[in-house]
Amino acid sequence: MRKLRLTAIFFIVYFLNSIAVHAVEHHSGHGGNSNRGETNSGGACIKPQLAKFLPPHLATVAPEAEFSFLAFNIQKPEQITVTVKAIPVAVTAEYKEPFYVVKGKLPSSLKNTAARINVKVSAKTSHCELENGWLVKISDN
């Protein structure tokens, strides 16, 4: 009877240990990292995030108004592209640990209209990419 219990306990410990080893082997590449969105071996990533959109959503702004936002978890600012009504917009980015402050200007051709400031962050794999944005109302002058 004692031998049967020891065998059962040994089997349970062995089984649980093999599950733990399997989990470590298959999930070791999915941990977070502290190097601004760089990938670990295996293609894991930290999803980019955008925050503090200025001017705020649905604000009325003048033509050629400046806008800005914060970008977290990106490797380099070249990953960021901005368009307004499908018009590419040049942006500048300044690194302020742990994020980038990204700034740009609305195209001069947009007046008396509503427009979406569309931000796309590209990456090596599609599950690490992000697309986000916000709307502004552009006045006549």
Q: Each residue of 38-81: pLDDT tens digit?
A: 444 455 788 999 999 999 999 999 999 999 999 999 989 999 99
Q: Give the chain's length.
A: 141
Residue range 75-131, pLDDT digits in tens: 899 999 999 999 999 999 999 999 999 999 999 999 999 999 999 999 888 888 999
**Structural domains of the chain, with CATH:** 49-138 (2.60.40.10)
Measuring CA to CA, how many Å separate 64 from each of 51, 111, 136? Answer: 21, 9, 12
Taking Cα atoms as reference points, which of 43, 35, 30, 41 lies closest to residue 129? 43
Helix (H, G, I), strand (E, B) or coil at 6: helix
Taking Cα atoms as reference points, which of 87, 88, 71 lies closest to residue 79? 71
What pTM value is reported for the model?
0.68
